[in-house]
Chains A and B, each alone.
Chain A
Amino acid sequence: MKLHIVIVEPDQTRARLVIDSLQPLGHHVTVISEAAGLARRVCDIAPDIVLIDMSNPSRDTLEEMALASGPMERPVAFFVDRTDRDLTQQAIEAGVSAYVVDGLQPDRVASVMDAAIARFQMFRRMRMELETTRRALEERKLIDRAKGILMKARGVTEEEAYALLRKTAMDQGRKVAEVASALVTAAGLLS
């Protein structure tokens, strides 16, 4: 029997990656990308498993649905309740949470979760790399602006401006970007 799996994920590329990992296992996958009306849509689809990124704030809406059917019976439950702790720990570290319909065989859930966890670990790495790149770019821009301010104010070359920034940073035990940021802020106040 193939499972009907819902993925709650606003980012299409990421949703695609999860679909690609689950469809070969023979499951039917539906993506919900909008937070609005989430509870109603999940109810209409009546999936076996719902997967959602732990960092998605809409998770609390699913939590409500899981409880609404009876918190003691848990026909739909966060899967930490019944699968092995190792798998749960892995899922939480990878940042994925799952809601599973009662009565589903644990090994079937485990195979879905293994695939999902692998994908989410990949997302996490991608997200961190993206964040690092973004920060590097911002720091680069700040340093360029600080260099520009120094070149204008002190009539020095670009190399000299950068050397000055770097020396100040070393003397104060701070990062070049921090010194640049302070300089840009101060220049903004003075102009």
Chain B
Amino acid sequence: MNLTTCRVGFVPLLDMAPIVIAHEMGFAAAEGLALDLQRAPSWSSLRDMLLWGQVDAAHMLAPVPVAMALGLGGAVARLDILQVLSINGDVIGVSQGVADKLRMAGHAFAFTDARQAATDLARVVDGPLRIGVPFPFSTHVELVNYWLRDAGLEYELCTIPPPRMADALAAGEVDAFCVGEPWGSVAVELGAGTLLLPSRAIWAVAPEKVLAARHDWVCENPALTGCLMRAIWRAARWLSVADNRLIASEILARPEYVNAPVEILDRALRGEMVISPQGEIRQVPDMIRFFDGAASFPWRSQAAWFATQLAARHGLDPETSRAAAKAICRTDLYRQNLRAAGADLPGASEKLEGSLHHPTAVASERGQMILAPDAFFDGQIFDSSRNTR
């Protein structure tokens, strides 16, 4: 069979798993695709590779296409969000120095309570807390800002590439970080830091990485886009099977992919996080999710949440920004391309973000689908049709 080549870029992280699995486990080939996977050294390079046509599609931080739709950071072309690759999967960690102070102040490192963690941090930290994040437009930045905005804590964000995060913490360049796995666990393993929170403690269903492509490429290659989306969606379904996790970790661990130990990659997939060099373990249900609960659906309301945060910080009109962000979420293509593959599709393309505290059944094309809890740590509910926070 003649395979069509599709070039897909990635940054070495656990959450690129659906792309690698689509390639390695034959889901791409089954759709007639030969994926040419290209590892990018940084998010800005991957963005440029995508914008200038060196790759056709890419593993991308969810807020990057949104920021571009808002005209932030050099928008040379429109990027579309085809589907979500991963939900959650980041951790917040602190240096051993900060961790010691937190323990002295009685912080229990329960790894669940974002409000308590912020209060305790504000009590023990003097001077601005330097927090490493992977990129100026990232779920990490939005979650950290949302988490700390009322904490009474002075902090500054420093951009550090994920694979360097552990070293930057060890070298004292930053006092804390928010980074995607496995790089948080790598910092623990090196004895450089202690994990304080999983990102899901701030927002229980934060979309982390998306599959992004240039809008004009998507328009010119409808069939190829469909094949790619189905291959990656099937890979995500494969990843949701517990028995497949170890194989996934072993594939991802290879030097050409994440290049990190299998055992460390496996922690987030299992939801069993080792939070400190002393070996304390915390169970984190939903630590990272690829498939269940319509995880891959590109909810317009989630893009609108990012747009609202970005608009507020950069002094843009919130209404216009939300509309621009919603327009790049290709829920139309998701429905069209994945319906036949067997995906259950939600009745709506927007929802109230933060309203679910328990798994909840909602209307879908096949009757009902179960959505996972999506609460924000502060109990806010975001209505993308009017809310400004």
Contact = CB atoms under 8 A, between A and B. Distances in A.
Interface string A63-90: 1101110011010011011000000110
B257 interface: no
Contacts of A61: 158-161
Interface in B155-190: 158-161, 163-164, 168, 171, 173
Contacts of A74: 74
Nearest to A57: B161
Interface in A121-156: none
Nearest to B164: A57
B241 interface: no
B74 A60 contact: no
A54 B54 CA distance: 13
B173 A36 contact: yes
B43 A60 contact: yes
A66 B163 CA distance: 22
A17 interface: no
B260 to A, nearest CB: 15
A97 B48 contact: yes
Given A36-B171, A57-B161, A60-B135, A97 B45 contact: yes
B45 A71 contact: no
Contact of B41 (A54, A67, A71): A54
Contacts of B314: 71-72
B360 interface: no
Contact of B71 (A58, A66, A72, A89): A72
Given A35-B164, A77-B74, A57 B48 contact: no
Interface of A: 35-37, 39, 54-64, 66-68, 71-72, 74, 77-78, 80-81, 88-89, 92-93, 97
- Shortest beta-carbon contacts, A-B, top 4: A64-B159, A57-B161, A63-B44, A60-B42
Interface of B: 41-45, 48-49, 51-52, 54, 71-74, 76, 134-136, 158-161, 163-164, 168, 171, 173, 314
10 contacts: A35-B164, A56-B41, A57-B41, A61-B160, A63-B44, A64-B135, A78-B74, A80-B51, A81-B76, A92-B54
